[in-house]
Each structure stands twice: as C-alpha cells, then as structure tokens.
Amino acid sequence: MTTGTIRPGAPTATSSPASQADEPRERRYLTLKRASMAGATAFVSANIWVGAPVLALWIGSQVVAKRTLSMAAVGVVVVALAVLEFVLAVVLTWLNNVYDEITGRPRTERRATWLRSMRAESEGHVSQRVGITMLERIVMINVYIAVITLVIWFFVFARSPLPR
C-alpha cells in the first residue's frame, strides 16, 4: 500500500461536488483577507512614522492656551506620542499574528539576535527556517521609504537654523 501526500484543496474520494465548488470561493476569501491584512499593515506602519507624530502635535496644541511654547505642552506631546506609538506597535503585532494564523505559518519564538543563546546558532535563524512574510516586507519597505525621505529632506530641503 502506497502512502501519498494529499495537497490541500485537492479533491479526494470523500469530497462532494458541493465542497469542490466552495473551494474557489474560500480561496478568494483567503486572498481577500490576506490583501486586507497587507493594506492594514501598510496603513498602520505609515501612521507610525507620520500619523502618530502629527496627532501628538495636534493634541499638544489643543492643550496649551497661549501662543508660546510651555513645558506642559511638550510633556503632553511626548506622552501622547508614546501612547500612540505603543498602540500602533501592538496593532502591528496583532496584525502579524492574525496573518500568521491565516496563512498557516508555524509559530516560532521571536527573539532579538543579541538575546539568543550562543548554543542556538546551529538551529539557524528564524527567517531562514520560516521565511519572511508579506507583512514583514511591507514594514521593511515602509522603514526604508521613511529613512530615505528623512535623509533627502535633511540634506536637500532643510535650511540651517544658524545665521549666515
């Protein structure tokens, strides 16, 4: 008796024609879920760089009644920015976990390289074993764009505040 592997979504002897007709619909639904997760990740990661700082500055501007800068306004901006960044990071982590569940990616321990044991080097890196997901690529591209934009602004468009 030969044992073969059955591909996910492949018709089997026990599958009915109705279940075979539902497979393209389920595949489209899965593709739609993955695309919406990618879009939400792009939105959240862009707001980490742009939306949260602007919102924190707006909140700080609403707190002060004067036109001069005060330490209270600076404190409100710093606290608001910290809270907003923390919330967006938690949302980004949640999106990544949901995406992993949708795609069936195995759960692995995510630990920074400098926190790993030296004995664990033979196991290989997590990204080599599991691979990088689309959401992780979106976040990396977003960081690249943000850093390149900052460098271009700093060296090309920013004026020196020092008198000439």
Predicted pLDDT at 158 = 85
- Tell me how far apart the alpha carbons of residues 123 and 101 are, in angstroms, rounded to a whole number: 23
- Tell me how far apart the alpha carbons of residues 19 and 78 are, in angstroms, rounded to a whole number: 55
Mean pLDDT of the chain, nearest integer: 79
Predicted pLDDT at 116 = 65
pLDDT per residue as tens digits for the range 82-91 = 999 999 999 9
Predicted pLDDT at 4 = 45
Q: Which DSSP state fits 107?
A: P
Residue of 18, 23, 22 lying closest to 8 (CA atoms) = 23
Distances in Å between the Cα of 81 and the Cα atoms of 7, 63, 109, 113, 126 are 48, 14, 29, 28, 31
Predicted pLDDT at 3 = 47
Predicted pLDDT at 24 = 80
Q: Which positions of the chain have pLDDT values less than 50?
A: 1-10, 122, 126
Q: Could you state, in order of their start, the residue ranges of all structural domains in the chain?
A: 37-105+130-164
Predicted pLDDT at 21 = 63
Predicted pLDDT at 44 = 94
Residue of 32, 14, 33, 11 lying closest to 23 (CA atoms) = 11
Predicted pLDDT at 59 = 92
